[in-house]
Structure 1
Amino acid sequence: MNELREDGFLGGRLRITQPLRGYRSGADAVMLAASCPAQPDESVLELGCGAGVASLCLGWRVPRLRLTGLERQEDYAELARRNAARNGISLHVLTGDLGAMPAELRRESFDHVIANPPYFIAGTKAGDAGRNLSRQEDTPLVGWIDAALRRLRPGGIITLIQRADRLDAVLSTLQGRAGAIAILPVAARQGREAGRIILTARKAARTPLRLLAPFIMHDGAQHWLDGEDFSSQASAVLREGASMVEYFAKES
């Protein structure tokens, strides 16, 4: 692994060491954590945890979680362990592949599984091997979702963030296996197409799908000034550690 750098997340509430030029977690990991409806004392598994950003953001927001991370790259897994220790959050990190999980993990089931599967099916390789494995699909998307469902207890909840143009693949994999699906489109600005979706689904449920109002990341029609122009709701999530769970709540 190349040179490392310490980054602040949640307005500096978490200090996370990441590769300077390898795969680096950012806003997607924070929003994934903010969208997971875990409650204190529940168990959460993150598939492909990288340096631990999503799990640690979730652990900062929700106390007493039993957090487990699975990461195929040992150097990233070790970073996740170090980051957890530094921030005083308990995170059990295992090294292994989705298709050949450690026996310890195969014996467990979880209340929640969260994941940010690689966004790209194919394309030009980056110069960093860790970045390639994290951003370009090696295990197919169906394999990520299948692994998540296998590790969920009956009634457990999967939370995913993914590119909007891969929603059809996500839904086809969940069909007949999970319900109560809620889809939150994430758009850069008001009136723009969603580039991301955050999805929650409950294993073995049959409740109909809900398509939610979009979550807007930035104010204004375009970026005019230097510096950040996050919307108030995006700033609350990214800088203050606010929950996004209420965006998935069913209207009464």
Structure 2
Amino acid sequence: MEHWEVLAPGGYRFVYDDALFRPSTDTFLLASLPRLKPGLRVCDLGCGTGLLSLLLLQRQPALFVTGIDRLPAATELARKAAEINGLAERLTICSGDLRDPLLPAGGFDLAVCNPPYYPVGSGGLPAGCALRSARSEATCSLPELCQAAARALRWGGSFCLVHKPERLADLCCALRETGLEPKRLRLVCKNAASAPSLILLEARRGGRPGLAIEPALLLQTSDGTPTAEVNAIYFRQQEDLS
């Protein structure tokens, strides 16, 4: 079933389908990581129905975003969202495998991705093909994703993604092997007493070694309510995250 919701009062509308990609906290958190400026050329690798692209455009309307996904049902909805939001000149959706050289090499300042977290054979998978591809690396491995990002980015461009803490070593190795140097790392924790459940990482093409560990992103306060930063990420209050 197709669902439409609003990112913020008066903001963009996004769409999802129960058989494809449901909205996740991970995507909203990832959208807060890139340092956005007007005019940046952004590629959303594995864009699904376009939620991450719309979140970035909600933060910085003067971006030029290109999304790519291999599932025609997802890209059809993403194109519909771009049209409904009047973003024909700002958001372009491509159908195809991100591992193929479909995007212009070196044509982007920023690449973003909410990738599948688990390698093939690491556990049970959902029944649907689309849901399996969102969870498992069966159709795109971590090294292949990093290769695609490196190919798309200009020299000095950034790659921002969200992943699981237990894959940090794999992620850093895959990034370095493709010329993407990890530069910023932020741990995501439920609260100040919790171990991290996610990581947000920015790498730079051709960057020098040196990784900055930023303060943890806490999801809840001591009394269990969302933190002010989480409220801002979900556009529940006015705060500039650019």
1:178 Cα deviation after fit: 2.9
The answer to whether residue 145 in structure 2 is matched with residue 144 in structure 1 is yes
Q: Any idea what SS the aligned residue of 2:36 has?
A: coil
Shift of 1:128: 2.3
Deviates more, 1:165-174 or 1:106-115: 106-115
Q: What is the alpha-carbon distance in structure 2 between the residues aligned to residue 111 and residue 234 of structure 1?
A: 26
Q: CA deviation at 1:220?
A: 2.0
Q: Secondary structure at the match of 1:184?
A: strand
Deviation track 1:75-122 (CA, whole Å, cap 9, x = no partner) reads 1001111111212232111111122242xx145520000011101223
Deviations along 1:137-166, one digit per CA (max 9) or x if unpaired, are 121111111110111000101111111111
Contact 1:27 1:238 in 2 (8 A): no
Q: CA deviation at 1:9?
A: 2.4
1:118 aligns with 2:130: no
Corresponding residue number in structure 2 for 1:60: 58
> Does residue 1:14 correspond to 2:6, yes or no?
no
Task: Tell me the TM-score normalized by structure 2.
Answer: 0.89
Seen in structure 2, the aligned counterparts of structure 1 residues 145 and 11 have a Cα distance that, compared at 3 Å, is farther
Gapped runs of 5+ residues in structure 1?
224-228, 246-252
Change (3 A) 1:207 1:108: closer
Q: Partners of 2:184 and 2:217 in 1: how far apart?
A: 13
Please provide the CA RMSD for this pair: 2.0
1:235 correspondence with 2:195: no
Q: How many residues align?
A: 235
Q: Quick check: 1:73–1:130 contact (8 Å CA) kept in 2? A: yes
Mapped contact 1:189–1:220 kept (Cα < 8 A): yes
Deviations 1:62-82 (A, max 9, x none): 122111001010110011111
Residue 226 (structure 1) aligns with: none
CA contact (8 A) 1:34 1:242 kept: no
Query: 1:171 corresponds to which residue?
Result: 172
Identity across aligned pairs (percent)?
A: 27
The correspondence of residues 142-221 of structure 1 with structure 2, limited to 5 A, is 142-175=143-176, 177-179=179-181, 181-220=183-222
Q: 2:70 aligns with which of 61, 69, 72?
A: 72
